[in-house]
Amino acid sequence: MKEFIKGLFNKAPKKRIWELDAFRGICIIGVVIIHVLFDMREFFGLKFALPVWLEMVQRYGGILFIILSGICVTLGHHNIARGLIVAASALVITGVTVLVFDKSYWILFGVLHLLAFCMLTYSIYRRIPWPVILGLGLAFIALGYYFESLTVSNEYLFPLGLITKKFSAGDFFPIFPHLGFFMVGTVLGKTVYKNKETLFKKVNERFFLIRFLSFAGRHSLLIYLIHQPIAFGLFYAVRLLISAVSGA
């Protein structure tokens, strides 16, 4: 908690581009809210419609986060090491969901699996001219949406976006079209952010809300990993308390 409070009020780390961290923060906070609302429906049987803005986050937030990750991979270093960390985190999530949940909620190729793949493969094409990367990215996006219209009999092609009629998952971000969105992000990083500096120099990045969102964005992986166990624990405790009170 002490570190969290320091992160909000202390000076942000140097050479960070605040708007990228802040947008990542918005995305991860949206994910937390959506998952908490989903947990409430699962634990307590509550039925309610999501607000329009949350529906937008649910529909497009993942794509925005992937594009942002593509931008950031061009600005940082040690992408292989970071990719391996994300891959290890993805495998942990897969193991937990397989052990704890019904098969329909298993996460076999979720957003972390996808980001790990994208980060680890970036070195293959990082030196290719950006117009070529953009063309490949757009082609992969089109291919992915074409794959959505197909069904296959081979149940092991799901990482590519080719799924069977019975396929279901708790979180699913196949390589196609999402690798394409990541590649578009790398193009933005190579062009719009080629100077590796903020585009909004006149904005006061010391403003509390921006600090909060930027802090969340810098720690988005940790937040993603811990928010569900915390939410499950709290809701499970509340349900036990309600059962105890109603049975008394």
What distance separates the 2 farthest-apart alpha carbons in the chain? 70
User: What integer pLDDT is reported at residue 247 of this predicted model?
Assistant: 66
Taking the C-alpha atoms of residue 227 and residue 229, their distance in angstroms, rounded to an integer, is 6
Q: Is 74 exposed, middle or buried (0-12, 13-18, 19+ CB in 10 A)?
A: buried
- 87 vs 243: which has the higher pLDDT: 87
What is the mean predicted confidence (pLDDT) over 63-87? 95
- Mean per-residue pLDDT of the chain: 90
- In sequence order, the 6+-apart residues with CB closer than 8 A to the CB of 161 are 144, 147, 148, 174, 175, 176, 177
Taking the C-alpha atoms of residue 81 and residue 120, their distance in angstroms, rounded to an integer, is 9
| 248 band by pLDDT with thresholds 50, 70 and 90 | low
CB 110 within 8 A of CB 171: yes
Position 45 pLDDT exceeds 50: yes
User: Between helices 79-100 and 111-125, what is the axis angle to 10°?
Assistant: 160
| Main-chain phi, psi angles of 231, to 5 degrees | -65, -45
List pLDDT tens digits, range 4-34.
445 544 444 457 899 999 999 999 999 999 8
- In sequence order, the 6+-apart residues with CB closer than 8 A to the CB of 105 are 97, 169, 170
Torsion of CA 194, 196, 199, 202, to 10 degrees: -150
User: What integer pLDDT is reported at residue 240 of this predicted model?
Assistant: 84
User: Between helices 52-75 and 18-44, what is the axis angle to 10°?
Assistant: 140
Q: In which residue are the tokens 């909000």 written?
A: 8
CB 134 within 8 A of CB 183: yes
